[in-house]
Amino acid sequence: MANTPAKTTKTIYVLNGPNLNLLGVREPETYGHATLADVEKLCVTTSARFDLKAECRQSNHEGELVDFIHEAHANNAAGIIVNAGGYSHTSIALRDALMAVKIPAVEVHISNIHARENFRHHSLTAGAAFAMLSGFGIDGYRLAINGLAAKLGLTAKA
């Protein structure tokens, strides 16, 4: 019997990295007043428009984020939305994990990383994604899901 590729599910993983659990209280002048719960609700609602299920995860630990990416692969996820926070600028491990699983990914940053400190101007993980959004606030997650859905050939339900 020949090996057949596993069928992609209708699940997308929304992965948030370090300190994003503090949204709403951490530097509101930079990140706004929305909470991580607000982000997750936005992602679930937006995904549902495309008949997708958002599996939202957050961790302050790099290895756990790598494990979430591996889990997305094991569960045949359709896509990944990732805001790796500060790890975007430092983590070869996250970049390697995203490259290894070959799942369409979009990187999101709430703030405009290019208008901030020089060390934030380069993202190691962005090169493993087909697109990157920066500076749209939490609305960047909605835009990322819309873009991922378009990449997957999905249209919104009326």
* Catalytic positions, written as ranges: 31, 109
Query: CB of 140 within 8 A of CB of 133?
Result: yes
Query: CB of 11 within 8 A of CB of 52?
Result: yes
Residues 15, 84: Cα–Cα separation, whole Å: 7
Length of the chain: 158
**Backbone dihedral region for residue 58 (phi beyond 0: left; psi -120 to 50: alpha; all else: beta):** beta
CB atoms within 10 A of CB 133: 20
